[in-house]
Amino acid sequence: MIEQGQYVPEVTLTQLTSEGMQTLTNKELFDGKKVVLFAVPGAFTPTCSNAHLPEFVTLADKIKAKGVDAIYCVSVNDAFVMKAWGDSQNAEEILMLADGDASFTKALGLEKDTAGFGGIRSSRYAMIVNNGVVTGLFVEEGKEFTVSRAEHVLEKL
């Protein structure tokens, strides 16, 4: 599993925008930026839709006021699902990033196998990344939802 002080692995993520499908590299996502990235097991799932993403939407301005350049939400879903989910949650301040084949999640060592529910998915976590280096990592244990919450990340900035 990735640890504080390590660089985010070189893997691309995708985003669907009004200009079409965008493939984003680490350089584009992290170079010269302070970023809060949080990951969820699945778009449109109960905790993710009722609490995790909405809290980041609500606190986005406060998080950015702490010097954060961007907030990213990552899930092992395709870019079409991530765009629809972001639109349904009014997540204009958050970049909704798809890790369709779980390559990013696996490179971080934060994958989990949910078997028949959805296969390989991401663990629930949040991280603070400064210029590509993880400076804060908050991984949930089991089905907990405490350390990856927007309020907790805001306190750590």
Residue 5 lies in a domain: no
Asked whether residue 38 carries a pLDDT value surpassing 90, the answer given is: yes
Long-range contacts of 101-105 (CB under 8 A, 24+ apart): 102/76, 103/11, 104/9, 104/11, 104/12, 104/13, 104/74, 105/39, 105/74, 105/76
Residue 8 lies in a domain: no
Domain count, the chain: 1
**What one-letter code names the amino acid at 14?**
T
pLDDT band at 144 (very low <50, low <70, confident <90, very high): very high
Active site residue 73: no
Which tokens in the block code for residue 108? 């971080």
What is the tens place of the pLDDT at every residue in 57-111? 999 999 999 999 999 999 999 999 999 999 999 999 999 999 999 999 999 999 9
Supply the CATH number for residue 115's domain: 3.40.30.10
Domain extent for 99: 13-156
The per-residue pLDDT for 113 is 82
Residue 106 lies in a domain: yes
pLDDT band at 115 (very low <50, low <70, confident <90, very high): confident
Of 48, 57, 71, 139, catalytic: 48
pLDDT band at 53 (very low <50, low <70, confident <90, very high): very high
Whole-number percent of the chain with pLDDT over 90 = 92
Average of pLDDT values for 7-20? 95
The per-residue pLDDT for 83 is 98
Residue 1 lies in a domain: no
